[in-house]
Amino acid sequence: MDTYRAVEVTGSQDFRLVDRELVDPDPNQVRVRVEYCGICHTDVLAAEGMRADPARPIVPGHEIVGVIEAVGPGVRAWRTGERVGIGFLAGHCGECDPCRRGDFVSCRDQEQTGTTIDGGYAEVAYARTSGLVRVPDGVPPAEAAPLLCAGLTTFTALQRSGARPGSLIAVQGIGGLGHLAVQYARALGYRVVAVGRGRDKEAAARELGAHHYVDSTAQDVAEALQALGGAAAVLATASSGASMGPLVAGLAPRGRLLVLGAAADPLQVDTGELIIGTRTVQGHLTGTPVENEDNLAFSAAQGIRPSIELFPLSEAPKAYEHMLTGKARFRAVLDATA
């Protein structure tokens, strides 16, 4: 076949299922036959027109798992038939200043899959080899998709938290990111507090591994965390700046508030809470492809699994809306083979 199906979007949520021409991959690039693509909240950048040229059609999606079906000129370390993943960062250049210093996440010449270049709401995707992730046989491909972004982001955030094993870690928001963060934190040997709105997610949070649960609608979260000894780190995954600021007061001395959830409203912090206790507020993006391979291996070894709901590719708009309204439990995933 010389065409493939793709769901592209223009403007705000103007989705269209189209046929695109199949082309050969560029130098140092591969063509991937997509099997599954997770739907992430960051997809709003494409789907809601929050990009430089929203009139230009773009294929969203950056939690892509598939099989290499063609390699471009200059590709040496990858072969057809390999199952690979493609995440949000579409491959570093290796030549800019951050790359030369080993900071590949901060590469200045790096596209964003599904936002600045076409992503995985499609039967086919193209990617730089420097952005590829090998997917081990021990991880089902449909489950691997959310691990490539939601999993990697929370896993590397915990690694960068500076918290010692046995420390108290709080996960704010038990959703697409949070339900994985709880599992990783428990597997890494932390005491885990899940923070959610209401009691409806308490049972799920405890089943995922949380030792404690704090209902932010009924308790002062900072006071609850301090009663448990103070959190060495809080992973803020809920997309609400207003809910993040008060978490600083729940940190132990030299604790870190790691901001993972992008919010439309600003995060406001009491400077006294930062100064007294020498606390830190830090943004966190994601990790590198090789860190993603570590993440998949760790997930397989520890039995960390995302809770997913599958949708056929043709129902991408429905799946996106399911995610956006918070109804997904806990990640919506497109099946490009259906």
List pLDDT tens digits, range 206-221: 999 999 999 999 999 9
What share of the chain in percent tops pLDDT 70?
100
Write the DSSP string, 183-211.
HHHHHTT-EEEEEESSSTTHHHHHHHT-S
User: What would the pLDDT profile of 45-97 be if each residue is shown by its tens digit?
Assistant: 999 999 999 999 999 999 999 999 999 999 999 999 999 999 999 999 999 99
Structural domains for the chain: 3-148+287-335 (3.90.180.10), 161-283 (3.40.50.720)
User: Tokens 């995985």 identify what position?
Assistant: 120
Question: CA separation (Å) from 211 to 29, 196, 201, 228, 290?
Answer: 45, 14, 14, 11, 31
3-state class (DSSP) for residue 262 = coil
Q: What is the mean pLDDT of the chain?
A: 97
**What's the pLDDT tens digit per position in 149-181?**
999 999 999 999 999 999 999 999 999 999 999
Closest by CA position to 224, among listed 199, 202, 246: 246
How far, in Å, are 252, 315, 323 from residue 238 at the CA level?
Answer: 21, 26, 13
Beta pairing, strands 191-196 & 212-215: parallel
pLDDT at residue 116, as a whole number: 98
Given CA atoms 204, 210, 211, 217 in this order, what sign does their dihedral have? Answer: negative
> Radius of gyration of the chain from Cα atoms?
20
- Taking residue 102's Cβ as centre, other Cβ atoms within 10 Å add up to 9
Among 181, 192, 175, smallest CA distance to 154 is for 181
Q: What is the pLDDT of residue 173?
A: 97
Q: What gap in Å lies between CA 315 and CA 313, rounded to an integer? A: 5
Tokens 């471009």, located at residue: 72
pLDDT in tens, 113-147: 999 999 999 999 999 999 999 999 999 999 999 99
* 30, 127 contact by CB (below 8 A): yes
pLDDT the model gives residue 275: 97
Residue 191 has pLDDT above 80, yes or no: yes
DSSP letter at 112 equals B
Binned at pLDDT 50, 70 and 90, residue 325 comes out as: very high
The CA distance from 234 to 213, in Å, is 14
Write the CA distances from 207 to 47, 110, 173, 234, 316, integer angstroms: 33, 38, 15, 20, 30
Residue 1 pLDDT exceeds 90: no
